[in-house]
Structure 1
Amino acid sequence: MPARRKKSSNTIKPTVKSRAEDENHRDSLMRDSSMAITSSLDGSHVATRTPINARPHSNRLGGQADEDDVELNLLGEEERQWAREGSEPDLSEDVSKRPISTKDKKAMVLLCVLYLIQGVPLGLALGSVPFLLKDHLSYSQLATFALSGYPYSLKLLWSPIVDSVFLPSIGRRKSWIIPMQLIVGTLMLYIAVNVPRLMEDPSNHVYELTSVFTSLVFISATQDIAVDGWALTLLSHENLSYASTCQTLGLNTGYFASFTVFLALNSVEFCEKWGIPHLTLSAYLKFCSIICFVVTFWLIFFKKEDKEPVTETDMSIKAVYKTIWSICKLKHIQSLIIMHCFAKLGFAANEAATSLKMVEKGFKREDLALAVLIDFPFQLFGGYLAARWSRGDRPLQPWVIAFWPRLGFCLLGTLIVYWFPTPPISTSFFVFLISYTVFSSFSSTVQFVGISAFHTRVSDPVIGGTYMTLLNTFSNLGGTWPKWFILNGVDVFSVATCHLTQSSLDIALEATECVSDHGKAVCQGLGGTCVTETDGYYMVSGFCLVFGVAFLMMYIIPTARKLQELPTSVWRVKMV
């Protein structure tokens, strides 16, 4: 923990500009400096932090020197200089036309690699491992494993600690990145060594698997906080917007390597068809752990972190938590939080269970992975188009409009599961599934970019990192918390019987005997066959769709209309 520095009585000189001109200038800076990204993989979105392109504020921040000192601490070196001089940056030169320096190019490569390391565990926990476990676990047990993805949506809870506690001799960001990556590599090596024991009979090791992967995601989320903060000092001021690009490339590459590529290479049929070596989970984890260790040791011995400029006061953990609480007490923020917490419930069944149901119906895992891989470039192109669409004065409008096609695709997904053809599936049906995946993903991309544009617009640039992380946390949490209930609900509402054939007589055991994993094993041991009479997936999916439409019409549309009409000033808070 660094020693506390002596406070200074420097204050921010107010700028001599009209309030309206001041607001317009700030919004323009934020729109030009931020880039929204999306990764619609099984409904899991990864939101970036917005680079802090701040400007000196007017009299609303004037007053006590202590408050001004805290706010100055949140600004970059150039921004603090502007604040002290009471001047604005010179925007007469188009910085977008400047060539990217060699230093920034190296920094971008480093950021891509660090984000890629972060994406590997996420691709395993949220993508490939649930599909590998599907043949051995019930939906209730899969719901337990789904808890492993929750830490990534809750990282706001400990992000102030990561931002405030560090060893000056190592570096503010390296103090966290180095140990976190060493732990990630060690955990992946532990899983690799124990794969035969854990995956041979996963029903008896569900809690151990959940604990290990929850720890893996938690450590990766902590590394993400540190990398996001380091990006603000690794890149020059005019190239801060490329931080989002680095996260898109690195995180998505790591995710797809662990999800799409691994599932394909892990399939014996796929490898025999194309004549390539079979890749086991153990071998893949060992390879990834080695890469993680190599990059970490390179950081230790060859990459020096630049010291951040001395500030007038320390940004304490307590002050950041108080600021988060002050933001949450705003009435319109509370309305936005309620909207985020329930907005994705209409898509929850589709994102949590539809792909698993298609695999259960006979859709091969490698074919599903191939469909997602084909969708990847369309996601990037869709994100570009959605970003252009969301630049207007009403960024929530495309977000609201995209609800209708997205809910429609959720209904279509349910019907696809219901009428899924008997394998092998035809080429025309496979093309139809790819088209469904692409268009469904595009509607999800439009929503994510639209809500990200709104977050960028309303976030105070002085506390942009904290503000954006807060809003994105609730947005991500809205898509995460229903998963456990959805997967459990599939089993709760399912009715299945075990049919035994003896001397041409059919004997049916109790209804619940073929729903649980234990019941299936007992039925199989008796030589019977499980017959599903009522599939709880359709009931859960129907409930989600009905709720999604009702909540959209009764709360989201009127609330979104009010929120986007509020002036920017009402979203601002003073540092506590």
Structure 2
Amino acid sequence: MLLTCKIGFSSTDSVMPLKLVEAGIPKEKLGLIAVPMIPIQVLLPLVISKYSTGPKPLNVFLKAIPYRLLLGVGAAFLVWITPTLVPDASKGLPITYVGLLLVLYGAHQACLYCMYVSIMAFFAKISDSKVGGTYMTLLNTCTNLGGNWPTILALYFVDPLTWKQCEGGVEAIDNACRTSVERDLCVSKGGKCVTTIDGFYIETVICIVIGFLWLWLWGSKTIKYIQALNENAWKLAKRKTDKR
């Protein structure tokens, strides 16, 4: 469960910031968006902890997943509308666009902290105190690994999923600009490789579909099952020693 629960968010979390930068939004502007979120990031764990300290802390985790998946639609919309709302980022960002960024980022942080606080509460509940922090470290490592490998795949598949076409030039070329050779050929003929379908949108849809299928077919049942287990099921078995 820990290794697969973040597949549905991988495109939004890893590719969207890069697409905003590609659309012309400066990195420092995106960095400043995080400043107003600091009070929210401080208060969210305090609020969420009230609902994650009971016998079923993963209920919060489970309820946050659909909302975080749907934020992928908002992320794709934001990337799509960025060139229209911000034709020239050097002149500053419009208030409307900043508002959209803050709303989307705030909603993302809320879902992120709901999942993070609840999963940490569950780890603290089931960890065997006999081995100290080693148990929680192992669980956290699995959680981090479950977020890293989908990110790598999401970044890798953006370009293969992107559709481009060579346009312009002195000759009509049936060139999809898939390889460096095709791109060089397009430029040599006076053309330009133009993106017709950005792979980010295709990847976002695929990730959202995978995320909901994971939740409905396996994730929800698995989370409820492991949460219902007795705490003794998570304890390390005592090693029997021979008495002579």
| TM-score, length basis structure 2 | 0.87
Please state whether the residue corresponding to 1:444 is helix, strand or coil: helix
Kept after mapping to 2: 8 A contact 1:363/1:423: no
Counterpart for residue 499 of structure 1:
167
Residue 397 (structure 1) shift: 0.5
Alignment of 1:82-231 (within 5 A): none
Give the distance between the partners of 1:450 and 1:522, measured in 2 at CA.
53
Matched, 1:510 2:172: no
**Which shows bigger deviation, 375-384 or 469-478?**
375-384
Give the distance between the partners of 2:100 and 2:196, measured in 1 at CA.
28
Counterpart for residue 53 of structure 2:
391
Counterpart for residue 12 of structure 1:
none
Deviations 1:267-308 (A, max 9, x none): xxxxxxxxxxxxxxxxxxxxxxxxxxxxxxxxxxxxxxxxxx
Give the distance between the partners of 2:16 and 2:183, measured in 1 at CA.
21
Counterpart for residue 106 of structure 2:
438
Please state whether the residue corresponding to 2:59 is helix, strand or coil: helix
Length, aligned pairs only = 233
Runs of 4+ more than 6 Å apart: none
Counterpart for residue 455 of structure 1:
123
Residue 387 (structure 1) shift: 2.1
Counterpart for residue 357 of structure 1:
19
Give the distance between the partners of 2:25 and 2:165, measured in 1 at CA.
24
Counterpart for residue 549 of structure 1:
212
Give the distance between the partners of 1:557 and 1:565, measured in 2 at CA.
12
Kept after mapping to 2: 8 A contact 1:497/1:508: no
Give the distance between the partners of 1:360 and 1:569, measured in 2 at CA.
51
Deviations 1:513-557 (A, max 9, x none): 4x65x7656655665322012221111111110010111112121
Specify whether residues 355 and 574 from structure 1 end up closer, same or farther in structure 2 by C-alpha distance, changes over 3 A only: same
Residue number among 77, 96, 109 corresponding to 1:415 in the alignment: 77
Residue number among 190, 195, 199 corresponding to 1:536 in the alignment: 199
Deviations 1:379-416 (A, max 9, x none): 12212222222111110000101112111112211122
Deviations 1:59-83 (A, max 9, x none): xxxxxxxxxxxxxxxxxxxxxxxxx
Kept after mapping to 2: 8 A contact 1:490/1:540: yes
Matched, 1:481 2:149: yes
| Runs of 5+ unmatched residues, structure 2 | 240-244
Give the distance between the partners of 2:184 and 2:130, measured in 1 at CA.
58
Deviations 1:333-367 (A, max 9, x none): xxxxxx11111001011011011111112222221
| TM-score, length basis structure 1 | 0.38
Letter in 2 for 1:544: C
Matched, 1:564 2:227: yes
Deviations 1:402-439 (A, max 9, x none): 11211111221112222322423421121221121011
Counterpart for residue 467 of structure 1:
135
Residue 370 (structure 1) shift: 0.9
Counterpart for residue 68 of structure 2:
406
Please state whether the residue corresponding to 1:352 is helix, strand or coil: helix
Give the distance between the partners of 2:184 and 2:124, measured in 1 at CA.
52
Please state whether the residue corresponding to 2:3 is helix, strand or coil: helix
Please state whether the residue corresponding to 2:55 is helix, strand or coil: coil
Deviations 1:246-279 (A, max 9, x none): xxxxxxxxxxxxxxxxxxxxxxxxxxxxxxxxxx
Give the distance between the partners of 2:189 and 2:98, measured in 1 at CA.
37
Query: Relative CO higher for 1 or 2, CA cutoff 8 Å, sep ≥ 6?
Result: 2
- Aligned identity (percent) is 30
Give the distance between the partners of 1:467 and 1:369, measured in 2 at CA.
34
Specify whether residues 500 and 553 from structure 1 end up closer, same or farther in structure 2 by C-alpha distance, changes over 3 A only: same
Larger radius of gyration between Structure 1 and Structure 2:
1
Residue 564 (structure 1) shift: 1.5
Kept after mapping to 2: 8 A contact 1:499/1:509: no
